[in-house]
Chain A
Amino acid sequence: MLVTGIKSKPVYAPLQADVGGRYHLMVGLGVGRDPLLRVIEDMRAAAPRALEHTQVLYVPDTLSAFASAGVAGVRTYDDAAALLGDFSALLHRSLMGTRLYVAGPESFIGLVMKIALEFNLNKDEIRAEECGTRARRVYCVHCRATTENVRTNIVRCIGCERWLLVRDHYSRRLAAYMGVMADAEVPGELPPLAEVFL
């Protein structure tokens, strides 16, 4: 019943340093640390001066993660919401020539991308690598509430409590997958609940 093969589902690729950029802004959550450290090492090899123009924003609040990275600045945060607020403020002050690198779970990447999109950053300015949980943000097309951390094929909407079928149809503007009422045809007839986004 899960509809797959929908083109709007984002596809991410391993991070690569883009030394054509003048400023490098790296944003990571949890295990996203490893791809960021890898790209920092690639940069150190290819164009070490670029590290003088590299900033890292990272959750959780453990400075030690990037202590020896040798970049111009590292800021750490307790949670993603605090990071995203600071990220948005930073983009307001940023100049053309900035490259964005994002690493972390898909839902985190989506929230970062949503803000980047508001600043008209295009595909050739952003690189993102997915790692960690595949739990989804699900937008209810009926009541417009967003249910977070969805791991199952169907989920009860936090807004209207309808059972929603989680589709692969993704909105970059909402940073969420679309959820549609799962038993609209025959009330009460639902597919078996299964953990699919791990």
Chain B
Amino acid sequence: MTDAEIIAVEVIGIEQVTPLIKHFTLAPLAGGSLPAFSGGSHIIVVMRGASRVHRNPYSLLSAPHELGSYEIGVRRMEESRGGSHFMHDAVRLGSRLEIAHPVNLFGLDKIARKHVLIAGGIGITPFLAHLEDLNYGTVPYELHYSVRSPEHAAFIERLRRRAGDRLRVYHDSEAQAIDVEALLMMQPLGTHVYVCGPAGMIKHVIATAKSAGWPDSHIHWEQFSAPPVGEAFDAFLARSNVTVHVPPDRSLLESIEAAGVEVPYLCRGGVCGFCRTRVVEVDGELIHNDHFLSDADRSQGRSIMPCVSRARCRSLVLDL
């Protein structure tokens, strides 16, 4: 993905659905239909703020067969680098935004015999689109949705309509928690589990599934990391022959793009692996924040995912 493939959209709906989550509806400026997508897909929203450009991934929660508009849910992040605050504070009805084509890194297994969906908070969004696909089929599923309290249960009416009694909601405020172990110990052969939510929840579900003997191929998760803030550093792009400065609150990828060098990407959240870049030389330490590189890749130190990863170094030379 590069900026050449973006679609201009207009915000035609904004609804505050919980104290922290806003629901946006985006329609193509050119009219007509948006590109088709499958449940679990996300788009990158390009936000051109006064001082900087944000590009954040958001899951599509609208029905995959309704292409007149896309819907996304945006949670206001406490430690926002600006993207979610921009969406919450600066975007109004009629605002124009740019989005990238949908990409699916969190699809459902096509030959699963059952699906167990686990969501925490804003992690519910990809499942809203999945439910549309699931309701066309005959494969059984169950959806477990954990939220802080009833007022934080975003999209609950829509979920009840789509999932009926296959939905279970858990409120932290009432000390209700998903018993992941009990859930994963009793699933029939051929079941797949999908989890999207806070990092701790994803880690817990993966660890519990593995200790219950689940193989990797039946465990699916998605978590877009926001690029963490870190120390400033410089990177030299060897093929382009430019040095870019990476300030503390800007990612390496954003800094490279600001220098006019394009890096292919799909998610900007450390998941897809598209922006993987070869490290020619580093005098210091790479700080990997992605979910893509293996431990072996990391120990070799020859690759970095500039969307979320940084360096603490005197010099970094990249093959760009």
Interface centre among A94, A98, A125 (most CB of B within 10 A): A125
Contact (Cβ within 8 A) A120 B216: no
B31 at the A interface (CB under 8 A): no
Q: A96-B184, A96-B218 are in contact. Are A120 and B212 (CB under 8 A)?
A: no
**Residue from B109, B190, B210 within 8 A of A121 (CB atoms):** B190
Contact (Cβ within 8 A) A124 B215: yes
Closest residue of chain B to A25, judged by CB? Answer: B189
**Residue from A23, A91, A122 within 8 A of B218 (CB atoms):** A122
Contact (Cβ within 8 A) B213 A98: yes
**B113 to chain A: which residues have CB within 8 Å?**
119-120
Question: Nearest Cβ distance between residue A96 and chain B, in whole angstroms?
Answer: 4
**Residue from A22, A119, A120, A123 within 8 A of B213 (CB atoms):** A22
Contact (Cβ within 8 A) A119 B216: no
B112 at the A interface (CB under 8 A): yes
**A121 to chain B: which residues have CB within 8 Å?**
189-190
Chain B contact residues: helix, strand, loop or mixed? loop
Question: Nearest Cβ distance between residue B33 and chain A, in whole angstroms?
Answer: 34
Q: Report B185-200 residues with CB < 8 Å from chain A CB.
A: 185-191
Closest residue of chain A to B216, judged by CB? Answer: A124
**A95 to chain B: which residues have CB within 8 Å?**
185-189
Contact (Cβ within 8 A) B210 A96: no
- Interface size for A (C-beta < 8 A) is 18
- Interface size for B (C-beta < 8 A) is 20
**A125 to chain B: which residues have CB within 8 Å?**
215, 217
**A123 to chain B: which residues have CB within 8 Å?**
217
**A122 to chain B: which residues have CB within 8 Å?**
215, 217-218
Question: Nearest Cβ distance between residue B181 and chain A, in whole angstroms?
Answer: 12
B214 at the A interface (CB under 8 A): yes
Closest residue of chain A to B217, judged by CB? Answer: A122
Question: Nearest Cβ distance between residue B199 and chain A, in whole angstroms?
Answer: 23
Interface centre among A23, A98, A120 (most CB of B within 10 A): A120
Question: Nearest Cβ distance between residue A181 and chain B, in whole angstroms?
Answer: 32
User: What total of A-B pairs shows CB separation below 8 Å?
Assistant: 52
Closest residue of chain A to B212, judged by CB? Answer: A97
Contact (Cβ within 8 A) A20 B210: yes
B50 at the A interface (CB under 8 A): no
Closest residue of chain A to B190, judged by CB? Answer: A120
Closest residue of chain B to A117, judged by CB? Answer: B111
A99 at the B interface (CB under 8 A): yes
Contact (Cβ within 8 A) B213 A20: yes
Q: How far is the CA of A20 from the CA of B216 in the complex (A)?
A: 11
Question: Nearest Cβ distance between residue A17 and chain B, in whole angstroms?
Answer: 13
A132 at the B interface (CB under 8 A): no
Interface centre among B185, B188, B189, B212 (most CB of A within 10 A): B189
Q: How far is the CA of A120 from the CA of B193 in the complex (A)?
A: 13
A21 at the B interface (CB under 8 A): yes
Q: How far is the CA of A23 from the CA of B185 in the complex (A)?
A: 11
**B191 to chain A: which residues have CB within 8 Å?**
96
**B111 to chain A: which residues have CB within 8 Å?**
120
Question: Nearest Cβ distance between residue B115 and chain A, in whole angstroms?
Answer: 11
Contact (Cβ within 8 A) A124 B217: yes
Contact (Cβ within 8 A) B189 A96: yes
Contact (Cβ within 8 A) A96 B188: yes
**B187 to chain A: which residues have CB within 8 Å?**
95-96
Q: A96-B184, A96-B189, A122-B217 are in contact. Are A22 and B212 (CB under 8 A)?
A: yes
Q: A119-B113, A120-B111, A120-B113 are in contact. Are A21 and B190 (CB under 8 A)?
A: no
Question: Nearest Cβ distance between residue A24 and chain B, in whole angstroms?
Answer: 10
Q: How far is the CA of A121 from the CA of B109 in the complex (A)?
A: 12
Q: A95-B185, A96-B189 are in contact. Are A120 and B109 (CB under 8 A)?
A: yes
Interface centre among B191, B213, B218 (most CB of A within 10 A): B213
- The 7 A-B pairs with the shortest beta carbon distances in the complex, nearest first, are A97-B213, A22-B213, A120-B190, A124-B215, A122-B217, A96-B187, A94-B189
